[in-house]
Structure 1
Amino acid sequence: MIDTIRVDGIDVHIDGPDDAPTIVMVHGWPDTFRLWESQVAALRDSYRCARFTLPGFELGAPRRSHSVDEIAETMSGIVDAVSPTRPVILMLHDFGCAFGYRFTVDAPERVSAVIMFDVGDANSPEVDAELDRTAKILRNGYQRTLAAAWRRGGRGSNTVSRLMAKVLGTHADPTLIHSGMNYPYEAMLGNPDLPVLGAVIAHPTFYLYGTKKPFMFHSRDWSDRLAATEGCAVTAVRAGHWLMVQKADEVNSAITEWLGSTKV
């Protein structure tokens, strides 16, 4: 049975035993808490799954940008509400990896383990160096298009955002996609003050990424270093960016196995 609590104006949906380890799930663009349906179904018997929609991502939400620090503060309030006395496991995807990484840096004692999907050291010089000219054109093109749609707003920008989501292969309901979701592209991309994601690996971390993409959001050096770190693991899945939906059974089995072998 799903319980819903409200934390700082955000609905947090909780499913699983009250005394089980808590997994806080953070999605990215252009998703909502609904992204994690399959993972909740697979994990809720043994874990307490807490998920929410990022501020501004729900259809009809007030349109404004939210900084990385603001989202980390939002996560802090949610973690305190769902697991006040015990560290949580973070499950992160896309921009959720950036927000979650910032939270782990700010409050490492509140996190016991991290599961990251498809975004590693995405803003590092190493990633940029590994991309060829075509990959850079593709990456910069879609990101700048979404940032521009955020700046413009309006019905036309919603249409552009939905078309881009379709091109990129998202599995989100297109009727729920809108340009108000695009603020991370404007707020985070090219931000010189944003720390390199994943630069410090301070918790047991499981990184899963899709191989069927035009380019990667991590460097080979970063994934090799993570795989060689005690308590951490890296798994490649023959899927795209939304591997937790495209290969749900394979992904869920890998997560369950890793969590079972990790102290959380």
Structure 2
Amino acid sequence: MIEGGGVELRHRIDGPDDAPLLVLGPSLGTTTHLWDPQISELTRTWRVLRYDLPGHGASPATKRSFGIDDLADEVLALAGPGRFAVGGVSLGGAVALSIAVRHPDQVSELVLCCTAARFGEPASWRERAARVRAEGTNWLAGIVTARWFTPGIEPEVAEPVQASLLGTDTESYALACDAIAEFDLRDHLPKVTARTLVIAGDRDPATPVAQAELLAERIPRARLAVVQDAAHLANVERASTVTELMTRFLGHGHGMKVRREVLGEAYVDRALTSGLTADFQEFITRYAWGEIWTRPGLDRRTRSVITLTALVSRGHLDELALHLRAALRNGLTPDEIGEVLLQTAIYCGVPAANAAFGVASRVLREAEAGEDAEG
């Protein structure tokens, strides 16, 4: 539980303790349960932190004004040091975007679902806040539900989310509306450096596709996915589609963690920014790093020895340089690397080993000089 800045956010964490962190925020009027349709799949390989907005769900109500940046600061405190993936729906997406704009070095992946860099005219949000203060939230139930879902939504899908709205503290809801009225990051979107997935519902009246297109156009290398027959809460209404989009984009959490640890943050970030190789990057993260490098049967030192030998035998010298640096990270000494390459001279051939020794000499000189060890 984190306090400060006038807000207090209660949260829950699900998933393996040793998995990388994924933080997910809810939309206005909903709770951590908004992400229930995705949680079982995401927690297979991610440690997922979900939080409630002030006066929503388990979070205490507040009477102090706050901005979206204040919420972002509280979420950062919950996440702790280090890099993490972050996402959210609507207001939760705005919080995630604020973090990615102001703290780009901490965000590895960004998922913006049915959200915007600016939520329409401020006056409409101030009018909603004033009416909620005067009349409560009951009058909102039908209006908001019509914006959250397309017509004909099953009651068992809509009613739990509607109940979350009716259980929200009135003043906290109004203060959140005030915060949304002040929110505008349109001019700051190019500051985002994280890999970004923008998800939009094709029938979303609250954050129309045009707003998602603006996010995708101005955030460098962002990808846009438009979900068919979905309104504002696309992750609930079209749960399987959004779950698949997110899991493909985020990849195998354990695999990404190991890949970054072995190959280095900078190298992996560069590899993941190429739109041309996006599907290939997801493939190798899931299978090479998530399924093979994470197996318990061999330690990383041994896997590095095997990998170096295989690369020498096939003459893949660029990849060899990358994995020589990885071998150093995995604990092999220069002398041990020399022994591995000497062994390859017998079983892979002298010319192959000769070329490998040339690459290794360069990589080890760079490592000793403290030069870029990440390719």
TM bracket (short chain): 0.7 to 0.9
Q: Which amino acid aligns with 2:177?
A: Y
What letter matches 1:51 in structure 2?
A: R
- Is the alpha carbon distance of 1:16 and 1:233 closer, same or farther for their aligned partners in structure 2, counting shifts above 3 Å? same
Q: Which of 203, 216, 240 is equivalent to 2:231? A: 240
CA deviation string 1:13-56 (max 9, x = no partner): 11111111111011121111111111111211111111010123
Equivalent residue runs for 1:70-219 within 5 Å = 70-80=70-80, 84=81, 86-122=82-118, 143-150=125-132, 152-153=133-134, 156-169=135-148, 171=158, 172-174=161-163, 175-179=166-170, 180-189=172-181, 191=182, 194-196=184-186, 199-200=189-190, 201-214=192-205, 216=208, 218-219=210-211
User: Match of 1:19?
Assistant: 18
The reply to whether residue 67 of structure 1 matches residue 67 of structure 2 is yes
**Which structure's CA Rg is the greater one?**
2
- What is the DSSP-based 3-state SS (H/G/I as helix, E as strand, rest coil) of the residue aligned with 2:246? helix
The structure showing larger relative contact order (alpha-carbon pairs under 8 Å, at least 6 residues apart) is 1
Give the Cα separation in 2 of the matches to 1:113 and 1:250. 19
Cα distance in structure 1, aligned partners of 2:212 and 2:196: 16
Displacement after TM superposition at 1:111 (Å): 0.9
Structure 2: which amino acid aligns with 1:62? T
- Larger relative strand fraction: 1
Instruction: Letter of the 1:19 partner, please give it.
Output: D
- Secondary structure of the residue aligned to 1:45 is coil
TM value normalised by structure 2: 0.55
Q: 1:224 to 1:165 in 2, by over 3 A?
A: closer
CA distance in 2: counterparts of 1:27 and 1:220, whole angstroms: 17
Q: Which runs of 5+ in 1 are unaligned?
A: 1-5, 129-135
Mapped partners of 2:195, 2:98: distance in 1: 16
1:259 counterpart residue number: 250
Deviation string for 1:156-210 (max 9, x for gaps)?
A: 3222233432332364142424433232222331x3x843276223110001100
Residue of structure 2 aligned with 1:222, choices 214, 223, 228: 214
Q: CA RMSD in A?
A: 2.9
| Map of 2:265 onto structure 1 | none
Amino acid at match of 2:194: H
Gapped regions of structure 2 (runs ≥ 5): 150-157, 252-280, 287-375
Please tell me the residue identity of whatever aligns with 1:100.
A
Matched with 2:48 is: 49
Post-superposition CA distance 1:128-163 (Å, at most 9, x none): 7xxxxxxx8xx975x45422234x25xx32222334
Q: Does 1:7 align with 2:2?
A: yes
Name the CA distance, whole Å, in 1 between partners of 2:184 and 2:195.
23
Amino acid at match of 2:102: D
Amino acid paired to 2:130: A
Secondary structure class of the residue paired with 2:176:
helix
Give 1:220 deviation, angstroms: 7.1
